[in-house]
Structure 1
Amino acid sequence: METQTMMKLTNVNMKSDSLPVDLVMEILKRLPVKTLIRFLSVSKLWASTIRSRDFMKLFLNVSLTRPKGLLFLFRHGYCGLALYPKTHEPSSFTTFHVSFHSSQWSTVSPSVHGLICYAQATTLVIYNPCTRRSIALPEIDTWRRPIRYYLGHDPMENDYKVLCAMLGGTRDLVKEFRVLTLGTESSWKMIENNLISHAPFGRELCINGVLYYQGTDARTYDLTIVSFNVRSEKIYPIKGPSGSSVFMHFESSKLISYEEKLAVLFFAKDVRLCVLEDAAKEEWSMKTFVLSTAISALNGYGNSRSTVTDTGEIITAPRFLHASVVNLDYYDMKTSSERTVYILGNKTEDTVYYVESLSSNLVENLMFL
């Protein structure tokens, strides 16, 4: 019986190796990451194909067309939890847990095409929740200065780059920038900084190869959006929407992608959506949405974590989550409708976890770290 099984497996391997590589890639790109990892042992051809740069880019392009998942990152206990919706019914969510080298990490970047970057003491780590693998980046000589780090992706070359802003002074203003290309560079290189003096805050956002983060102008205290072209490694400032300095003092703000454009959400009693219509002219449009009292209170006073989907839905989760039930509030900015989704977790566990961040753009990524 074992001999017959081995003969069948050998025949499958021989037939698969006789197929054109392009056809093999077309077949494999439709499979989930877990299956592809198992298929690394099918044959040398399949292993080299799955690990190739061309196939990883092809697989990512397919993943980006599928529904995106939610990624929760916790400060203690569970380090991560991902939810992949198959339909709009809460019972259809599947979950898996991710882990880091240790629970002692400081800050973490949002998911960028399936990868996240987090700081562990003076070390930056890139982690792939799908493959459960990570890589530590070369350490930066910071002279004990604080840094802000941002993960970006170039869709043309399928390159991932980490941008580090070195801070200094009593107000933690950006003094210099350094960048590292994942997988091809072994040291950080300094890049030109022609920006106005600013203090970075909030989480970054990467849209179509451009990385954005928010900063406060050191002179006017107005909102400045810093843009970093991942491919060219050029940095440009974008003036924030009019009156943003008032918003920043009294409301929390978040960078989002709205209809494939850069936008800023300002949370208070209502939601102000400012969309960048023309980056060259720094022209912004503004819309106002009224949320329910409960959701507004959560977003406005830091009692929740929120994210925005590609379809324009604001997803809000409590800052402290129970392991047994995950409750999410959805607000559709296009239809002005609200709904609450309850996801059953571990019924036997009554632990409460602090949510560090929430991302709604998680996709399967095959990159081997």
Structure 2
Amino acid sequence: MSGSSSGEITVPKISDQIPHDLVTEILARLPAKSLARFVCVSKTWASTIRSRDFHNSFVTRSSTRPSILLALSDTHRDRRYSFFSFPISDNEESPSLAYHGYMKRRTFSMFHSVRGLICLKCSSSPVILNPSLRKAVTLPVTTPNLRPEENDRYCYLGYDPIEDHYKVLSIETRLSYRSGTCSFQEIRILTLGEDRLQWRKIEGGRFHFPDSPGTCINGVLFYRAYIKHVGITLVRFDVKTEKFSFINAPNHHLPSRLTDYRGKLAVYGPIRRGFLRLFVLEDTEKNEWSNKLYVMPHSWRDLVPGGDELFDARFTDSGGIVLAPYFTRSERYYVIHCNPERNILERLSLEDPKN
């Protein structure tokens, strides 16, 4: 408010320029679906939303309303993976699936997620996907002089919370199935966010042949691998120091699925006769494991369409389980949410927006 020499009181106009800090603060409070649209508003907004500082701020805020990132595949559409998130907050009274787009299944064969980013294993080079923004970045070819079809390549994404670095680990291996020996192995690593994305060779210790997706917990990347004369084992990779170590399996039949169970590594297999067995690594140094058995309610199968058998299981801090089918014949994407402690059993569905 201001005055004039004639005594008239005038109201100043509101500036059409909102401070950038305020815009960033507002954007960080919005859902991911809105951010995916707002990158088209202007180059400034797009640059802000796609920046590392904004991503860290958004992930930090999201930690107060944690969610599980899922990739659901179908058999009746054009063979694609659709990406969804499911809230696991204890305060969520009516949880629902949020859709984040899809990718053709022929373009990649394996994925795992870290803090909202997804690493995709593709035939030529790894791809990093941010499903919330529906943006994908293809990384440089790891070994341009080698033909991908001659070797098996596994790619993993890890996060170092101390240095705030995302790193992609690439392991290219040639395995002789007759002798069970690894005739060739090359391990490289790439740090995201650098001005020039460039792979570096690192030592991986003994030859090992990865055979599972990975999971990153508190700066440590875990995945399953085969080692000659040892068999199936677990690999532990420290993202900060870039050092490998190996963990003895809890038994000779190590399940292939790895997950984060309340901040600890856990492995599990398929549900058999209504039971889901979980092995939790309680102490890495002492190689101490605990054995947990989840008993599914008798009626849980009534919520599953016929033909859907294998499920990806995720575990919430409140004792709940979220089951997502690897492949579904259903006309709707769905997950099964079960919490025995709270007597919750429900099927959550979502019509495919691209149906």
Instruction: Tell me the TM-score normalised to structure 2 length.
Output: 0.76
Q: Which residue of 2 aligns with 1:6?
A: none
Q: Which residue of 2 aligns with 1:258?
A: 261
8 Å Cα contact 2:112-2:120 kept in structure 1:
no
Task: Report which of the two has the higher share of helix.
Answer: 1
Picking from 196, 201, 216, the partner of 1:206 is 216
Matched, 1:228 2:237: yes
Q: Which residue of 2 aligns with 1:280?
A: 285
Picking from 182, 185, 199, the partner of 1:188 is 199
What percent of counterpart residues are identical? 32
Matched, 1:314 2:321: yes
Distance 1:39 1:302 in 2: 37
The structure that has the greater radius of gyration is 2
Partner SS for 1:54? helix
8 Å Cα contact 1:83-1:94 kept in structure 2:
yes
Distance 2:258 2:63 in 1: 20
The 3 A distance-change label for structure 1 pair 63 and 12 is farther
Partner SS for 1:14? coil
Distance 1:325 1:54 in 2: 36
The 3 A distance-change label for structure 1 pair 348 and 125 is closer
Q: Provide, for residues 11-43 of structure 1, a one-character-per-residue CA deviation record: whole Å limited to 9, x for no partner.
A: 4543525xxx4x665444322345456278579
Q: Which residue of 2 aligns with 1:110?
A: 112
The 3 A distance-change label for structure 1 pair 347 and 164 is closer
Distance 2:328 2:214 in 1: 24
8 Å Cα contact 2:257-2:269 kept in structure 1:
yes
Q: Which residue of 2 aligns with 1:67?
A: 66
Picking from 94, 99, 103, the partner of 1:96 is 99
Distance 1:216 1:120 in 2: 21
Matched, 1:237 2:246: yes
Matched, 1:136 2:138: yes
Shift of 1:88: 4.5
Distance 1:12 1:167 in 2: 60
Shift of 1:140: 2.1
Distance 1:308 1:113 in 2: 15
Distance 2:128 2:332 in 1: 29
Q: Which residue of 2 aligns with 1:166?
A: 172
Picking from 143, 146, 150, the partner of 2:152 is 146
| Structure 2: gaps (5+ residues) | 1-12
Distance 1:103 1:347 in 2: 17
Distance 2:315 2:31 in 1: 22
Shift of 1:133: 1.1
Amino acid at match of 1:38: F
Distance 1:327 1:52 in 2: 32
The 3 A distance-change label for structure 1 pair 345 and 318 is same
Amino acid at match of 2:346: T
The 3 A distance-change label for structure 1 pair 145 and 331 is same
Deviating more after overlay: 143-152 vs 337-346: 337-346
Shift of 1:239: 1.5
The 3 A distance-change label for structure 1 pair 324 and 176 is same
State the aligned residue count.
320
Instruction: Tell me the TM-score normalised to structure 1 length.
Output: 0.73
Picking from 145, 155, 177, the partner of 2:161 is 155
